Structure 1
Amino acid sequence: MRRTTVGISVQPYFTFFPRHCMLNLRVLVYARKGPAGFVSSGSLRNMHEKIREYLEWKGTYAHRASINYKIWLNRFVEQCGDKAIEDYSSTDVVKYHRWLEVHYGSYCIQYAMIIMKNFFQFYKLRNVNCLSPELIRLPRIHQKSHRAITEGEYGKIIKGIPTNEFLPLRDSIMIRLMWDTGVRVSELCDIDISQINENKTSTIISTKKNGKKRIIVWSEETHKLLMKFMGIRMELEKQTHASALFVGWKGNKGWSARLTPRTVERRLKHYVNLVGIKEKITPHSFRHGWAHHRRDQNAPLAFIQRGLGHNSPVSTFIYEQYDDKEFVQNARGYLKAA
């Protein structure tokens, strides 16, 4: 039997948890590769340390995703126990999946399983002896296309938002920018004050999916409200010291450094309900709405593709698809013209 040389150094340190801290012992284990070519993770290193290590790497290229990953990885540990990474098996995957089925919908379940698969794939690529990511299968779900917001619905929402106070004014501008530009909600939240020029109704942003720069252009009406907003926002900057164009109010905690996509979604839902629209409208509905509106204006595919920030025209075709109502209206028009 091949022996493994192990060196151990012990020193006190504090491990910080969300609600408390405790004195612990750091045990550093150095092991040579075993017969199978794997590096032992060491049973004294728990899963939370592995998660922290993985998220540090994930955060180097996808900071926002690393925040979401932490939530779901911690849920996995809560359900299956905090143990050495090599001790997790397909049984834990089944247990976690059954728990997800009780508490979440199909999209959340698929997202949670993707995170687990990526996590174990990371350590497998580092030759750590752990559960094979091939054993984590993703559940099949039927993709539902986002419904495109109509021009009438957009007008109804905008009319229901007052612009004489800072927060409603902020909300109005965010919704106007989504309608005018087709920008992703995450891209909207990433816009900084420095990107706004009072003499231009456009700015350059980084496309979220591929990192490429692209121009977004908005209307003169939106620009007038944006300049009104900027006057207040620049005064507020002295208090917040935040670079983000859109910030949020957190009550006793004061102003947030940057508005989150989830907050934008909640604010939009508030106004949709306020004006009595029954159809589900999300920030992504505005991207589809922008594509549909430009399609109806006979804009070329290349223009729509660039506006949406797509690498492939195939992705743009998906955004241009007619919904049932649009198809029926156009079908009747063609029948009359025949």
Structure 2
Amino acid sequence: MYFGVMKWEQAIQDFTYYLKIERGLADNTIQNYRLDILKLTNYLSEFELNISPVYIAEDDIQGFIYNISKLLNERSQARLISGLKSFFDFLIFEGYRKTNPLELIESPRLGRKLPDTLSISEIDQLIGAIDLSHSQGQRNKAIIETLYGCGLRVSELTNLKLSHLHFEEGFIKVLGKGNKERLVPINSYTQKFIELYKDEVRIHQEPKPGFTDVLFLNRRGAQLTRAMIFTIVKQLAKEAHIQKNISPHTFRHSFATHLLENGANLRVIQQMLGHESITTTEIYMHLDKTHLRSVLEQFHPRA
């Protein structure tokens, strides 16, 4: 088969359709794949390299990687290479190519990045910085308490529905990566702040059509964006004088780390976080030495 010179757009469209339908990936993940391929097509256009996805060769890809390496850190380069490999593997699978031009291109070697976490006092400090007299104060408090109390990804938080709150059973239903549903336990403390927001603030809002079941709403009655959650967290960190570089994901890291430090089973944490592999959860084993020593002294028969 032959794509032709101008068929990059069709190749990208087919690939994104495959990622969504066949692999069931989340929209944000698919968008990242698409943006990485567009970086390659922009490079080809900039240097007037009129090459189709069928005939692009390893040398062309190496030139692109060398060019873009000046703009990206090693972690972003590794993700880019991985995404492009998947794209060309898809073209091979569909019969458009016989080889992958990234087959011999190695990703940068990455050290295992330990996630940033907040201490319990820092989380209390940050929540204490929320201005509850502000119209969005109660909502923002419920958002932070839910991120930390349930260990949710930011997209899981923004997609949380009223119909997914099963407080009597002590669970919330979460739509995770690849549209996979899971039940996450919720404690009564976190539940209290969601109910305060829901019953005292949200009840006075008129949701826009299509958002009546969405839990957290913006001022216009629509679903909050990921960017807005990032803005809320960054602003609170600034007001609480917390110097760490934190994001909504920091609360998820802190949730897992604090559970582990207090003796929770790694497999249980894996289920609550919605990790497919226990290897992903094992990154939270970065406990301080004093905790490791106390575990040894408490549980080893020779201690």
TM-score (norm 2): 0.81
Unpaired stretches in structure 1, ≥5 consecutive residues? 1-38
Instruction: Answer with 275-284 or 81-90: which moved more.
Output: 81-90
Query: Deviations along 1:100-136, whole A, 9 cap, x unmatched?
Result: 2222222222222222111111111111137614144
| Number of residue-to-residue matches in the alignment | 288
- Give the structure 2 partner of residue 227 of structure 1: 195
Counterpart selection for 1:75 from 36, 39, 45: 39
Distance 1:197 1:330, change over 3 A: closer
Cα deviation for residue 319 of structure 1 reads 1.3
Question: Secondary structure of 2:39's match?
Answer: helix
Distance 1:182 1:120, change over 3 A: same
Matched, 1:292 2:292: no
| C-alpha separation in 2, matches of 1:166 and 1:131 | 57
Query: Deviations along 1:188-242, whole A, 9 cap, x unmatched?
Result: 222123213565653122443793522231333x333322322433553533532
Distance 1:94 1:290, change over 3 A: same
| C-alpha separation in 2, matches of 1:305 and 1:317 | 9
Matched, 1:265 2:215: no
Instruction: Answer with 156-165 or 223-232: which moved more.
Output: 223-232
- Give the structure 2 partner of residue 307 of structure 1: 272
Matches for 1:1-338 after TM superposition, within 5 Å: 39-43=1-5, 45-60=6-21, 61-62=24-25, 63-81=27-45, 83-129=51-97, 132=100, 133-197=102-166, 201-208=170-177, 211=180, 213-220=182-189, 222-231=190-199, 232-239=201-208, 241-242=210-211, 243-248=213-218, 256-260=222-226, 262-322=227-287, 326-328=288-290
Higher strand share: 1
Cα deviation for residue 161 of structure 1 reads 0.8
Query: Deviations along 1:260-307, whole A, 9 cap, x unmatched?
Result: 2x4323321221122111122233332332233223333344433333
- State the identity %: 20
Cα deviation for residue 150 of structure 1 reads 0.8
One-letter identity of the residue aligned with 2:87? F
Contact preservation (8 Å) 2:150, 2:184: no
One-letter identity of the residue aligned with 1:268? V
| C-alpha separation in 1, matches of 2:195 and 2:261 | 30
Contact preservation (8 Å) 2:116, 2:250: yes
Distance 1:166 1:114, change over 3 A: farther
Question: Secondary structure of 2:160's match?
Answer: coil
| C-alpha separation in 2, matches of 1:165 and 1:135 | 56
Contact preservation (8 Å) 2:152, 2:252: yes
Query: Cα RMSD over matched residues?
Result: 3.0
- Give the structure 1 partner of residue 300 of structure 2: none
Question: Secondary structure of 1:172's match?
Answer: helix
Cα deviation for residue 146 of structure 1 reads 0.3
Which structure has the higher relative contact order (CA within 8 Å, separation 6+)?
2
One-letter identity of the residue aligned with 1:98? Y
Distance 1:333 1:194, change over 3 A: closer
Distance 1:247 1:95, change over 3 A: farther
| C-alpha separation in 1, matches of 2:294 and 2:185 | 35
Contact preservation (8 Å) 1:80, 1:95: no
One-letter identity of the residue aligned with 1:178? L
Distance 1:334 1:297, change over 3 A: closer
Instruction: Answer with 154-163 or 74-83: which moved more.
Output: 74-83
Q: Which entry has the higher C-alpha Rg, 1 or 2?
A: 1
Unpaired stretches in structure 2, ≥5 consecutive residues? 298-302
TM-score (norm 1): 0.73
Cα deviation for residue 334 of structure 1 reads 8.3
| C-alpha separation in 2, matches of 1:108 and 1:198 | 40
One-letter identity of the residue aligned with 1:52? Q
Distance 1:199 1:76, change over 3 A: same
